């Protein structure tokens, strides 16, 4: 039996197991809108921990994180820095969002925004921004699955087929089981990928260098620029710091994270999850170690694509058996698929409830809404699959671009939760201006000072919001005096 056949067999067995777990999780609640979207609002600490943790352990974690450490060195630690701030937003926002959702029947960000500001167009705007940001994020997971299959099977399963296999499995159990399927598969996959990440991180360092300490000692001697900012590239302190800020505040605005607040059985559950949430950041450490291991291993023949460093080390340099490679592939697929399930589920809900609900589906009943959401899971996943086939750029850069868009919702959401005096015209103008400014700086004229363009977009957002708010207050005061 060839090595590739063993790898494929192990991986297909794993995919079958995940599919069975996801489909068996379907219950009676999955047929109702609240059950399909929010798990009936009774998700406990353990399942919610793994659901929220899946937002970190994704294809980005297994491929993008080592890729950045290999390509840039020390600047890759921005990932740990921003993840240490995300629990603050969960603690501060989560319980209030969960309470409002339970009291008023919210299921999406757009529900809360439209109700608070008494503006369906504003809820639609939030929904459109959410879908636009979620599709690239979903593309990362599908592209990552294709890369994993192609490399680990030595081309036996090509990129397009590997991505398709993962897409079909995820779409099937999300289509049938909703959040219940996502929760139970995330639990199974979470445990598996945690053990595999640490095993690979320590084993690769030991086999190539004799240990983690010896690895860094050799890097310090041969390539010390990788151990300091700006690292081996031009990622200066400004971009590093602003990337941390945009990722930390933008992380709380992701619809798939935000909507999980609605599923919690209580605010106390969310605060417990926020306390343990940094453990997932700690579990990214071995994946960073793998990236650093590639710096000297490929010094003479640099990789054409940094995101493949983990695959190349495990396949070509560390001399693992095909059974271990099959488990590695399964663990990495677990990361991509667990996050992909959340993203496909959320994007479909946001599209149907926030964008189509106020327009084409105004008179749709609950059953029709659930059906449309299920089919939207398939449609949006297929769109992301097609984009993945176009061979997109660095997985990390795709993610950072998506963060720059989604963070523009931050003032709007804070206004709905804590600042009732903010007017809908002000937050809408700010979000539109901020998003356009981000796109201009990121894809057009370039970002001033080398900062992350999302920060400049947020500054424009706040400036426009402040001007509109001041003008509105003056107008109201003037009418009162008259």
| Res. 28: pLDDT tops 60 | no
Contact 119, 424 (CB under 8 A): yes
Mean pLDDT, range 332-353, rounded to an integer? 83
* Cα of 83 vs its chain's centroid, Å: 12
Of the CA atoms within 13 Å of residue 33, those in its CB half-sphere come to 19
Q: Within a 10 A sphere around the Cβ of 311, how many other Cβ atoms?
A: 23
Show me where the domains of the chain are located: 3-393
CB 63 within 8 A of CB 307: yes
Average pLDDT over residues 120-139: 83
* Span 298-321, pLDDT tens digits: 988 888 888 888 888 888 777 788
**Position 459 pLDDT exceeds 90:** yes
Q: How many residues does the chain have?
A: 482
Share of the chain above pLDDT 90, in %: 11
Per-residue pLDDT band at 477 (split at 50, 70, 90) = low
Report pLDDT digits (tens) over 270-297.
Answer: 898 888 888 877 778 999 999 999 999 9
- Could you read off the pLDDT of 72-112 as tens digits, one per residue? 888 888 888 888 888 888 888 889 998 988 888 888 888 89
What is the topology classification, in CATH, of domain 3-393?
Sodium/glucose cotransporter (1.20.1730)
DSSP-derived letter for residue 314 is I
Q: Which residues contact 356 (CB under 8 A, 6 or more apart)?
A: 372
Measure the CA–CA gap between 30 and 196, rounded to whole angstroms. Answer: 32
In this predicted structure, the answer to whether residue 481 has a pLDDT above a threshold of 70 is: no
pLDDT given for residue 289 in this prediction: 93
The count of C-alpha atoms lying within 13 angstroms of the C-alpha of 239, restricted to the half-sphere facing its C-beta, is 20
What are the backbone angles phi and psi of residue 264, rounded to the nearest 5°?
-65, 145
Residue 212 has a pLDDT of 92
207 phi and psi angles, rounded to 5 deg = -75, -35
């Amino acid at each position: 039996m060839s090595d590739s056949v063993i790898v494929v067999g192990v991986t297909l067995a794993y995919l079958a197991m995940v599919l069975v777990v996801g489909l068996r999780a379907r219950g009676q609640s999955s047929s109702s809108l609240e059950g399909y979207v929010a798990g009936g609002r009774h998700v406990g600490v353990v399942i919610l921990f793994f659901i929220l943790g899946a937002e970190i352990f994704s294809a980005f974690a297994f491929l993008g994180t080592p890729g950045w450490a290999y390509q840039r060195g020390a600047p890759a630690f921005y990932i740990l820095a921003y993840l240490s701030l995300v629990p603050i937003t969960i603690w501060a926002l989560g319980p209030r969002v969960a309470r409002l959702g339970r009291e008023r029947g919210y299921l999406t960000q757009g529900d809360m925004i439209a109700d608070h500001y008494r503006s369906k167009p504003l809820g639609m705007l939030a929904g459109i921004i959410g879908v636009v940001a979620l599709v690239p994020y979903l593309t990362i997971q599908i592209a990552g699955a294709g890369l994993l299959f192609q490399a680990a099977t030595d081309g036996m399963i090509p990129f397009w087929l590997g991505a398709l296999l993962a897409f079909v499995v995820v779409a099937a159990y999300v289509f049938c089981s909703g959040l219940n399927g996502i929760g139970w598969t995330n639990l199974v996959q979470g445990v598996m990928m945690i053990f595999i990440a640490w095993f690979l991180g320590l084993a690769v360092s030991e086999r190539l260098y004799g240990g983690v300490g010896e690895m860094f000692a050799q890097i310090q001697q041969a390539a010390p620029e990788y151990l300091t900012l700006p690292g081996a590239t031009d990622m200066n302190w400004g971009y590093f710091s602003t990337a941390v800020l945009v990722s930390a505040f933008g992380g709380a605005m992701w619809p798939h994270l935000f909507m999980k607040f609605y599923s919690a059985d209580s605010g106390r559950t969310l605060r417990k999850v926020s306390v343990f949430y940094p453990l997932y950041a700690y579990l990214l450490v071995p994946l960073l170690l793998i990236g650093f291991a590639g710096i000297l291993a490929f010094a003479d023949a640099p990789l054409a694509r940094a995101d493949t460093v983990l695959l190349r080390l495990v396949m070509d340099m560390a001399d693992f058996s095909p059974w271990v490679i099959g488990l590695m592939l399964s663990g990495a697929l677990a990361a991509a698929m667990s996050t992909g399930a959340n993203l496909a589920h959320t994007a479909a809900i946001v599209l149907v409830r926030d964008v189509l609900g106020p327009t084409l589906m105004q008179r749709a009943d609950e059953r029709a809404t659930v059906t449309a959401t299920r089919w939207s899971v398939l449609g949006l996943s297929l769109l992301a699959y097609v984009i993945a086939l176009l061979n997109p750029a660095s997985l990390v850069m795709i993610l950072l671009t998506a963060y720059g868009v989604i963070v523009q919702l931050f003032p709007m959401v804070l206004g709905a939760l804590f600042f009732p005096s903010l007017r809908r015209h002000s937050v809408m103008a700010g979000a539109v201006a901020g998003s356009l400014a981000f796109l201009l700086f990121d894809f057009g004229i370039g970002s001033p000072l080398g900062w992350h363009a999302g920060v400049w977009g947020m500054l424009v957002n706040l400036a426009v919001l402040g001007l509109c708010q001041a003008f509105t207050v003056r107008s109201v005061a003037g009418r009162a005096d008259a």
